[in-house]
Structures are given as C-alpha cells and as structure tokens.
Chains A and B, each alone.
Chain A
Amino acid sequence: MTATVSAPEATPARPRLSMAKPGTRQHLLSIANLGADGIAEVLRLTDMFVEIAERPIPRVPALRGKTVVSLFFEESTRTRLSFEMAAKRLSADTMSFSVSTSAVKKGESLRDTVETIEAMGIDAIVVRHSAAGVPWQVANWTEGASVINAGDGWHEHPTQALLDCYTIRQQRGSLDGLRIAIVGDIRHSRVARSDVLAFTALGAEVTLVAPPTLLPPTLETWPVTVSHQLDAVLPGCDVVYLLRLQRERMQEALLPSLREYTATYGLTRQRAGLLSDQALIMHPGPVNRGVEIAAEVADRFNSVITRQVRNGVAVRMAVLYLLLGSGVDLGA
C-alpha cells in the first residue's frame, strides 16, 4: 500500500506508482508519493495515450471489466468529465456520484458513503472534496479500491500537476532548468501545492508571486523563491502560471479590491509585453478573464490553456492504466 504522507521529507522511501500487482493496491494521493521517476513514468505513458486519442476510434480495451467511480463532493466540470472520458477510452465502466444526488445530504457519514460504494465492487475511486485530506481518509476506510485524488481542499491536485508537466514538456522538451512563475492565490491553491512539488522534482526553478496575504504562512521548507513584484519576475520567465482568484477573498480581508489585485498581480496586456516571445502562459481554469489574466492575453497563441485541458484526458488515462492496468497490450 502506498504511504499516505504528503510531504516529500516525510517519505524517505517513496513508494513508486507502477503497474498494479495482484493483491496490492496503489493510490495517487500526492505528487510527493510519485517522485521524479514516478512523474516521468506517467509522462512517458501519456505520450502513448495522446497517440491513441488521435486514432479514428480512440479506445483501447486496457481496463475492460474494471469499474471507476468518481466521487465528487465539490462542483467540478472539467476534472470529472476528464476522468470519466479517460476511463471510458480505456474501456472501464464508470459510475458517477455527486453530492447533490447522494445520501450525504440525508445525514449519511462520509465513511458510510465510501464503504457503500466500495461494497459495490469497484476498482478505483476518484475523489474530489472541499476538505484537505479526504482522499487519505477514503484510502484508510477502503480495502480493495485504488484512490485517486482529484483535488482535496487547498492541499493537492496531482493529476492537474501531471498534465501541467506534460504540457510544458510537450512545448519545451523538458522542465529541467526552466524558470516558472506561479502567480496569484497560492495559499488557497491545491494546484499550486502540487505544481511546486512536480515542477521542482523535474528540475524547474519556481518563483511564487503573490501578496503576502495570499501565500501560505510558512514557506521556509519549500524549494521556491518568493516575489511580490510581478514586473520584475516576468522578463526572465519561461512559463507564467496564473491561478484563479476567488472573489470571496475580499471578504476575508486578504485583498482590498479586485481592481487593485489586477493592477498589481494580473497579467494585463501591457504586462504580458514583458514576457519573452517563447514564454508559455498557463492557467488551470476556469479563467476569470479580466481579473488574473486579460482576455486577449488568455487567447494569445503561446497561451496553452486549451492544450492543458486536452492533455488532461491522456494524463488521466496514464494514471488509471498505471494504477489498474491488467497488462493488456495497448496496441490491441
């Protein structure tokens, strides 16, 4: 069983994500559990699934007979659809469970819900929850199913980080030595936490750019540099990664106004001019056009935001295949 500790320092012997062996189960809970080798393995397989996606019938029988459940306690369109499409393209059966249609609203505990679903005989649970740590709890409460973290609170979103790595690699060949700026609400961002772990594992230099109120309280052990001056960071960037700004942050006295945020940390058209011609512009979506990024910048040709979404399916196919794979030849 995979260790369930998120921090890299806490897992000296990193359990590697690899082809499932009979009688064992593997989870994808955190990028920290994967390490550089695990990430590389996912990216290598993703190449194969990207190729499959371009076939006339983009479907392989690799997971025929397997059942994948998406268990989403928080609204999500793209991540849930992306996982479901990935599972279908691998010929797995899929079930979808969302909070509005479930017994959870009738007072059933999280554990009861999870145990009920597992009792149906399923192979993987894809979990999204607004509370950090829920995928760890689900893994502890189940016995047979693999658990995939599709986003837990502010904590992690490993498949987003994997598809981000894949997208960057696709454009630039490698992440090694790239200078990547992650801009915006790092404090509340599961994408940022997973991306920092993944980008730095692959050799990138990461700079976090945000007002102090939107940074995690302690960054001493993070392998990053911090800046509050976006204008100073942009000229040297190979990749600028913008995070979505939630509008309720104003109510928590973290920001005075959206306008001030856009003026100091938004990628306006003028500010985008500071970027080199090769610099990539990324965003996990959904985009707040006009807040963290100007509409015309989001649509610029070196913005790879829609490519991120497309790669998401192939990356999730690779993850499902690695966790559940029956060893069926992908060419079949």
Chain B
Amino acid sequence: MARDEVLIRGGTVVDAHGRRRADVLVAGGLITAVGPDLAAAGHTTLDAEGCIVTPGLVDLHTHLREPGREEAETIETGARAAALGGYTAVVAMPNTDPPIDSAAVVRQVLTLGATAPCEVAVAGAITRQRKGELLAPMAEMAELGVRLFTDDGTGVQDARLMRRAMEYASALGVTLAQHCEDASLAAGGQMHEGEWSSRLGLPGVPAEAEELMVMRDLALSRLTGASIHFLHLSTAGSLALVREAKATGARVTAEVAPHHFTLSDADVAGYDTVFKVNPPLRSGADRRAVKQALADGTVDAIATDHAPHAQEDKEQPFDQAPPGMLGLETALALALTELDLPIEKILALLSWQPAAIAGLGGRHGGPVAPGAPANLAVIDPAATWVVDAAQLASRSRNCPYDGRKLTGRVRHTLLRGEPVVIDGEAQR
C-alpha cells in the first residue's frame, strides 16, 4: 500500500461529465479509483460527507507580485492563498518587476512555483517591458510552456502592434489575452464614470474605454484569424459585443472577476481604497449584465484578478492608491453566494473551462477518473462563514469583503495527490 494513498470518502463527484456519489482514491499523484464505498483501511482519509469533490479550480488571472513586490505577495503566500481557495493552478500575470517578458524571468517564476502548494503557470508579456512598443520574445517563452500572453495592467494601445502580435502568436499555438482599456479615454480615471463618480467628485473611466478595445480586438481577430481572450470584462456593452461575436463564430473567450458580479460603484461612496480596482466597479446595471453573461454562456471563466497591495500603498488618498483587490480565497464562495446557477455550471466557470483556456487541460480541470492527475478540491457548498481579512493567507489585506457572510467553503485541496489543504487548514 503506497504511503501517500489518500481516500476522499462520502462526497459527490462533479466534473464536466456530470455528478455522481463516489469515493475517490488517490495514489502516486494520480486518481486510482472512483466509485462507491472504496476500502478505507490504512489510508489517509479525508471526510467529504455532504461535500462536492471537483477538479481543482484554475485561476486565469493572479498577480503573485514576485519578483519585485514581495512585501505585497510572494509566489509561496499567493499559492497558499490559492490552495485555500480550492485552486490547484493559477496563471501568474506578467506585470512584475522585472516583468515576465523573457525566458529568464519565466524560468525564475516557474522555479519558485515548482515547490508551491499550487501549480504556478505563467502568462508572458506581449511586448517588451509591457511598454506596448516592441514584441516580447513569445516563441522563447512558449518553448518553456507559456500558453497565455498579455500586457495586463494595461492594454496594448497600438492597433498595428496588436495585429502583429496576433499574427505572430497564431503560429505558436498560444493565446493572447487583452486588458481592454483605451488609455486616452481612461486617463486619470479613479472609478467608473457615472452617477457615483459625478457625486463623489472623482474622475471617471467610462465603460466605453473598455468597449472600444473589445471592438478593436474583435476586428483584429477577424483580420488575423487569431483567437483572443478578454480579461476581466466589466461592462454590459463589452459582454454584448462578445455575445454577438460568439454567435457569428468568432474565436473569442472571456472572463469576469468576482467583484464585478458582487460589488458596484456605489461601494466607493465611503472612499475606502479597498474598493479601487481596474477595471473599476461598475454600475448596478453592469453588475446584472455580468451575472446574465455568466448564466447564458457569454462568459467562459470566472477569474480572480487577485491583486495584493501592501497596506501602506492602499492607505493613500483615493487618487494615489493603486488599484486592485484580493480574490483567491473568496472567489468560489462569492460565486456560490452571489450567482443563482447550478454548482456544475459554477465549477465549469472556475475549473475546466479556464483550464482549457490556459492550456492546462489534461493536468487540471478533470475529469475525476482513474489515471487522471489528482488535482482536486473538496467543497462544502452549504457551509457559511464570515470573511475575516486579518485571517487570510495572502500577505496583503486589501480584501473588500471583510465581515461579509458567505456560503460555500473549501474543505480540502489536493495537488498532485498531496493534501495541501485539510479541513480548511493549509498543510504547508
């Protein structure tokens, strides 16, 4: 009997193939058996009574801050937060310091991530230094396994450069992901432009700053035949554009962030910089449109845009504080609490659909079947808990949900067969 054998007992397995009552036996990093009443003698046994056993969650959009801003987050602390949130893989965004725009930095992040309690995949920059001027060496990074490229934090402003990037990328079998924001229209904006920005006297970012770039990139995708993934879409208009494009067969995928279906621009009223994020919290109507787009299949993934910031950086006047909020440890519970969708649909948006976009299918996102890698999460969908920002595993505290009561909690997470979270406690 293998020493690392783990039995997950009493749960309901949910994956892309549906739902069934089954125990799951894991050994040697793989799922070895799935079925009712598997023998338990001598194993590490994880209780899953009343719980859902699912392929581990996959985050397409995580800012781990290392290298460069280790006071806000490290690969280790971010990966621990991810594991506690039920994630077995995250895609690290390239806006680090230095940015992930070369094979050397890709290698550095992958090496640091190799021992983390969550698989760390890497998104490379589209342009050198994320400056939007010259192409980054995408082939060299793709060689190391990078499957997603983005200048996230900013959009690629120059249409000709974006066209060239799409053409170049299409030969590499990689996907470009865009942070859609027209920089000139958004310049100086601190929150969503509308009723609340007008009242609060803060410069706004109009919804159209996002929508213009969605429109442009859909056109460039038609021109080049390349696929495009839209990061953190936040407006009703953007989602309508994607819905229409998908109906005509465009090669487009889209993600939304939990805060865009949970919060709105009214939350900025107290000037708490924890609510400052980019794209900004939008109107109530936009928030409803995000929920609708999740329900009708316009959106392919929920991605956290986990963006840790040190306390001293956030404790500045609103117009100086950096945008971004934590997300890894609350995303699943927010989806279960806020979205009126069946759990199969929610897990598709959090696990197997993003796994496919990230090029991680095969290792992550299921199915839960013998022979598959044992990257799994066990979720109690009925457990209620109150978010305590001070207790989060992230090194930062910029969580906008402090004190909020949520339904649904991660009990166990297994990475390559190893229980990295047991009963909500990180094991390393």
Residues of chain A having any CB pair with chain B under 8 Å: 4-7, 10, 109-111, 129-134, 136-137, 140-141, 152-156, 190, 193, 216-222
A284, B49: Cα distance in complex, Å: 68
Which segment of B34-42, B311-319, B416-424 sits at the interface? B311-319
Contact B271 A137 (CB under 8 A): yes
* B202: contacting residue among A111, A154, A221, CB under 8 A: A154
Contact B266 A10 (CB under 8 A): yes
Determine how close the nearest CB of chain B comes to the CB of A248; give it in whole angstroms: 13
Task: Please report the number of residue pairs spanning A and B whose Cβ atoms sit closer than 8 angstroms.
Answer: 85
Given A137-B271, A155-B200, A131 and B318 contact (CB-CB distance below 8 Å)? yes
Contact A216 B317 (CB under 8 A): no
A5, B196: Cα distance in complex, Å: 11
Contact A220 B195 (CB under 8 A): yes
A330, B194: Cα distance in complex, Å: 46
* A5: contacting residue among B198, B269, B312, B320, CB under 8 A: B269
Contact A133 B271 (CB under 8 A): yes
Chain A positions within 8 Å of B78 at CB level: none
Chain B positions within 8 Å of A136 at CB level: 270-272
Q: Does B249 sit within 8 A of A, measured CB to CB?
A: no
Contact A132 B318 (CB under 8 A): yes
A121, B271: Cα distance in complex, Å: 26
Residues of chain B from 155 to 206 with CB closer than 8 A to chain A in the complex: 193-202, 204, 206
A36, B197: Cα distance in complex, Å: 24
A312, B194: Cα distance in complex, Å: 33
Determine how close the nearest CB of chain A comes to the CB of B100; give it in whole angstroms: 29
Given A10-B269, A154-B202, A133 and B195 contact (CB-CB distance below 8 Å)? no
Chain B positions within 8 Å of A193 at CB level: 199, 201
Contact B198 A218 (CB under 8 A): yes
Chain A positions within 8 Å of B193 at CB level: 217-218
A272, B315: Cα distance in complex, Å: 47
Contact A109 B201 (CB under 8 A): no
Residue of A nearest to B271 (CB): A133
Residue of B nearest to A217 (CB): B193
Given A4-B270, A6-B269, A129 and B197 contact (CB-CB distance below 8 Å)? no
Contact B201 A217 (CB under 8 A): no
* B319: contacting residue among A6, A109, A132, A218, CB under 8 A: A132
Chain A positions within 8 Å of B270 at CB level: 4-5, 136, 140
* A111: contacting residue among B195, B200, B206, B315, CB under 8 A: B315
Determine how close the nearest CB of chain B comes to the CB of A199; give it in whole angstroms: 16
Q: Can you list 29 A-B pairs, Cβ within 8 angstroms, ordered by A?
A: A5-B270, A6-B269, A7-B196, A7-B199, A7-B200, A10-B269, A109-B312, A110-B315, A110-B317, A131-B319, A131-B320, A132-B318, A136-B270, A137-B271, A137-B315, A137-B317, A137-B318, A152-B201, A153-B201, A154-B201, A155-B200, A155-B202, A156-B201, A216-B199, A217-B194, A217-B198, A218-B193, A219-B198, A220-B195
